[in-house]
Structure 1
């Protein structure tokens, strides 16, 4: 089973590209969606213990958590120690199911793939990329996003140029959806040839 690592900086179009891979029959595991689920479930009490006052109704409230961790490396590390092992457990469970289903390939959508050394967990790295102005526009259109928050998130991420240099494949998302779809199809064909 080929494990495809999908990554790219914030606002580059990972979710859209992941859906396109799914259209080709390649199931995906989304680390961000998993974190979201964990914040509403088993991670919530652990995060409340570490950062009192950051949950509401038994769920982590990101607007309360953000000021506690953004721009604070020690606090961020404390949060990651709680969340990352839980995400890895969920990822493992996903891989087990895919193996039982005899999938030829799976997609692991990991936002900080290179930053966290996750490249060793995948066979192929696919980077989703768009021009900086397109990225900025997409991110600033998100609810609750500010220029300051966008810059803080970007400062934590490896520069796009470096991600592109480390990738086996780069999928450009700054143009039409049709062009992106064609890029995904050609990457799927290339990966199928590796199997």
Structure 2
């Protein structure tokens, strides 16, 4: 069972690559979805976040107020480190459980769709690290056009993540998403051939 890490900066086309791999039969394990799942009301993770950052990060219904928490940790590296110390171990355990479930099928290709690979999971035993890549100016334009951000907000989001150089340095495969969707699809098809052909490694 090949275990693939798929990462990329904000607006890098990572989700497009993930969807294309899923359409070919890959099992996608979505790190962002796991984060949401382990932070549901009633979970130890949410209780620990509230104990650390105060009940102001909770909505009236007891769920996490992501915007309130984001405002605290976005600008404060120490707060971000405390949050990561709570969330990352739970995400690691849950993602492993999902990998194991998928691995019951020895032919499964499991893709861990993870934005913060460089920051959190780079040393895990991945068979292949795939980086979806588009230059920062392309990503800025996408954030403004597709997500309605101002140019300044787009730059801040991009700057808050690790640099492209750091991501590209760990890549086994780079999918360049700056071109057309067809270009991206061709690269994904070649990757799939590599993963499922007679010699996947």
RMSD: 1.9
Shift of 1:174: 1.8
**Pair 1:28 & 2:28 matched:** yes
- Tell whether the 8 Å contact from 2:49 to 2:83 is kept in structure 1 after alignment: yes
Shift of 1:73: 0.7
- State the Cα deviation string for residues 117-162 of structure 1 (Å, max 9, x = none): 424331101000112222112223436x555554444334221133
Moved more, 95-104 or 134-143: 134-143
- Tell whether the 8 Å contact from 2:28 to 2:113 is kept in structure 1 after alignment: yes
- State the Cα deviation string for residues 35-56 of structure 1 (Å, max 9, x = none): 1233334232221111111010
- Tell whether the 8 Å contact from 1:44 to 1:55 is kept in structure 2 after alignment: no
**Pair 1:90 & 2:94 matched:** yes
Paired residue for 2:147?
A: 142
Paired residue for 1:39?
A: 39
Unmatched segments (≥5 aa) in structure 2: none
Shift of 1:109: 1.1
**Pair 1:55 & 2:61 matched:** no
Paired residue for 2:72?
A: 68
Displaced runs of 4 or more, over 3 A: 145-153
Paired residue for 2:132?
A: 128
Unmatched segments (≥5 aa) in structure 1: none
SS at match of 2:5: strand
Paired residue for 2:162?
A: 158
Query: Where do 1:183-194 residues align within 5 Å?
Result: 183-192=187-196, 193-194=199-200
Paired residue for 1:8?
A: 8
- State the Cα deviation string for residues 37-91 of structure 1 (Å, max 9, x = none): 3333423222111111101012111111112111201100010011101111111
Give the number of aligned pairs: 194
TM-score by length of 1: 0.89
SS at match of 1:48: helix
- State the Cα deviation string for residues 5-45 of structure 1 (Å, max 9, x = none): 10111110111111111111110111112112333342322
Quote the Cα distance in structure 2 between the aligned partners of 1:3 and 1:182. Answer: 21
